[in-house]
């Protein structure tokens, strides 16, 4: 299990990467010249069936390190000199729980309903049954389906439990095996959202209406702002005036730059202007909001593809991240949305919002089973600091935490 020291090292590595990235960018060359850009704009494709540039994901993945385990002494020292690191110091008396312990406890509180719905119910069923038999497995199957884990993933879990049953495992062993099963499905590796080697870092947000795209952008702008990164929030959801206004409010709240055009403007044009502004003003991170609803699904996907094409004309490796925002409270619909979006555009990471207050958080387990795309962030509330890195092990541990252990 990660202790507070591990958490501190992870945080230091993250800070170091950002520090190093900023330093590197200060000496890098500016973006394309005005003449080049003008030429590129005039040749912007408008037909939806234009050739797509292949996604740069594999190269980018190679350049990035999401693994906090490799940190040299020199890097650690550098990270210690960065502002904000000191607050992570813990006294010896705090070490048993430490910062990470406190965060973990809070996570199990936030996902209380899902925890009770899945592990709470399964533990109760096992206790009531006293032994592992077909009836108990049927009951567990019911619980997993109701918690929105999804039919395919539930079947996989139950099939494996049937093998345990055949081997004659005890009820206590079954619950421990179940935890190991979940860890295998959800994974143990943490995928941090990390900056590419160039600036600006362009992040595109996609997802259906109401999943939490705009709120997630606001929360991320606050997180990045606190690390000293200048953010530009881009109102690419031009479908509703209120959506533009909502993003503007987040920009004010977080001290980020804001770029919007009128309602109904072409989102690709908004993105184009935003990237030019970001290059000219040496912005660190560009966060592009998009609409989640258009007249038809095809229209929406074509619009998103066009935004990606235009972004690539200015910065070929961008968007460096395309985050699909999914709402946990929609259960199995989230899985359906993941299918539709990932088939249409190269999504690089998932954000699962509203894990607080829902009993349908089992969908995260289903998503991890069915898609290889990592979950990078989770939303556990509406507040500005209610966005967290997704740590699969922490999530599974929180699911199995006993109510009395939670402070
Ligand atoms: N409880 C909770 N609410 C959230 C979370 N993320 C977003 N919301 C709320 O969900 C609603 C829709 O969010 P919004 O960002 O407008 O969604 P968008 O249409 O995808 O941009 C808003 O009321 C948000 O406050 C979360 O993690 N937890
Ligand atoms: Mg929105």
Secondary structure string (H, E, C) spanning 359-393? CCCCHHHHHHHHCCCCEEEEECCCCCCCEEECCHH
CA of 278 from ligand 2 middle (Å) equals 21
Q: What percent of the chain has pLDDT over 70?
A: 72
3-state class (DSSP) for residue 209: coil
Ligand 1, residue 237: give the atom nearest the CA.
21
Give dist(CA 379, CA 386) in Å, integer.
Answer: 6
Ligand 1: residue of 113, 210, 212, 323 to mutate (most ligand atoms within 8 A of CB) is 212
Q: What percent of the chain has pLDDT over 90?
A: 66
CA of 247 from ligand 2 middle (Å) equals 7
**Which of the residue ranges 18-22, 84-88, 214-218, 285-289 would you say has the lowest mean pLDDT?**
84-88
pLDDT of residue 103: 55
Q: In the predicted model, what is the mean pLDDT of residues 244-254?
A: 98
Q: Tell me how long the chain is.
A: 407
pLDDT band at 24 (very low <50, low <70, confident <90, very high): low
CA of 214 from ligand 2 middle (Å) equals 4
- For the record, the structure tokens of 277 come out as 């502004």
Contact 285, 229 (CB under 8 A): yes
CA of 106 from ligand 2 middle (Å) equals 27
Give dist(CA 362, CA 167) in Å, integer.
Answer: 27
Angstrom CA distances, 2 to 154, 181, 377, 391, 396, stand at: 28, 19, 18, 10, 13
Taking only the tens place, the pLDDT of each residue in 326-336 is 999 999 999 99
Taking only the tens place, the pLDDT of each residue in 348-387 is 999 999 999 899 999 999 999 999 999 999 999 999 999 9
With 50 as the cut, is the pLDDT of residue 52 above it?
A: no
3-state class (DSSP) for residue 323: strand
CA of 379 from ligand 2 middle (Å) equals 15
pLDDT of residue 352: 98
Ligand 1, residue 380: give the atom nearest the CA.
27
pLDDT of residue 11: 54
**Protein residues near ligand 2, an ion, with CB under 5 A:** 213-214, 243
Ligand 1: residue of 239, 375, 382, 389 to mutate (most ligand atoms within 8 A of CB) is 382
Angle in degrees, CA 325, 328, 333, rounded to 5: 85
Ligand closest to the CA atom of residue 237: 2
Task: Please return the burial class of 347, using the count of CB atoms within 10 Å of its CB with bins 0-12, 13-18 and 19+.
Answer: buried
Taking only the tens place, the pLDDT of each residue in 200-232 is 999 999 999 999 999 999 999 999 999 999 999
Contact 248, 235 (CB under 8 A): yes
CA of 144 from ligand 2 middle (Å) equals 31
Per the rule left: phi > 0, alpha: psi between -120 and 50, beta: everything else, 369 is alpha
Half-sphere exposure of 301 (CA within 13 A, CB side): 15
Closest of 82, 70, 96, 63 to residue 15, by C-alpha: 82
Contact 325, 211 (CB under 8 A): yes
Q: Does the model's pTM come out above 0.85?
A: no
Residues enclosing ligand 1, CB less than 6 A?
207, 209-215, 292, 325, 353-354, 356-357, 379-382, 386
pLDDT band at 297 (very low <50, low <70, confident <90, very high): confident
Give dist(CA 122, CA 313) in Å, integer.
Answer: 52
pLDDT of residue 296: 79
Relative to beta strand 375-379, strand 387-389 is antiparallel
């Amino acid at each position: 299990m990660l202790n507070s020291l591990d958490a501190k090292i992870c945080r230091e590595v993250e800070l170091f990467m950002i520090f190093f990235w900023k330093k590197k960018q200060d000496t890098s060359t500016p973006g394309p010249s005005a003449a080049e850009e003008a030429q590129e704009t005039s040749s912007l494709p408008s037909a939806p069936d234009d050739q797509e540039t292949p996604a740069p994901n594999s190269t980018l993945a190679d350049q990035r390190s999401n693994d906090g385990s490799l940190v040299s002494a020199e890097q650690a020292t550098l990270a210690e000199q960065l502002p904000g690191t000191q607050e992570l110091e813990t006294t010896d008396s705090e070490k048993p729980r430490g910062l990470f312990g406190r965060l973990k406890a809070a996570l199990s509180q936030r996902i209380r309903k899902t925890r009770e719905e899945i592990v709470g119910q399964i533990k109760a069923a096992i206790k009531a049954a006293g032994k592992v038999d077909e009836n108990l497995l049927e009951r567990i199957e019911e619980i997993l389906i109701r918690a929105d884990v999804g039919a395919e993933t539930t079947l996989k879990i139950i099939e494996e439990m049937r093998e345990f049953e055949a081997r004659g495992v005890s009820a206590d062993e079954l619950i421990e095996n179940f935890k190991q099963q979940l860890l295998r499905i959800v994974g143990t590796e943490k995928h941090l959202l990390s900056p590419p080697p160039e600036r600006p870092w362009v992040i595109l947000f996609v997802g259906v209406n109401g999943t939490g795209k705009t709120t997630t952008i606001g929360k991320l702008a606050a997180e990045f702002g606190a690390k000293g990164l200048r953010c530009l929030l881009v109102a690419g959801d031009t479908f509703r005036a209120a959506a533009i206004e909502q993003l503007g409010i987040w920009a004010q709240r977080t001290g980020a730059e804001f770029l919007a055009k009128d309602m109904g403007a072409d989102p690709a044009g908004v993105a184009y202007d935003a990237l030019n502004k970001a290059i000219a003003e040496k912005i660190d991170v560009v966060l592009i909001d998009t609409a989640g609803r258009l007249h038809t699904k095809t229209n929406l996907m074509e619009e998103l593809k066009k935004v990606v094409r235009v972004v690539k004309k200015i910065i070929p490796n961008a968007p460096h991240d395309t985050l699909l925002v999914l709402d946990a409270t929609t259960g199995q619909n989230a899985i359906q949305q993941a299918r539709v979006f990932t088939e249409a555009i190269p999504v690089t990471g998932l954000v699962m919002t509203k894990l607080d207050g829902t009993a349908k958080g089992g969908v995260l387990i289903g998503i991890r089973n069915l898609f290889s795309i990592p979950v990078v962030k989770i939303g556990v509330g509406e507040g500005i600091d209610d966005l967290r890195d997704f740590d699969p092990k922490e999530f599974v541990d929180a699911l199995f935490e006993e109510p009395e252990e939670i402070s």
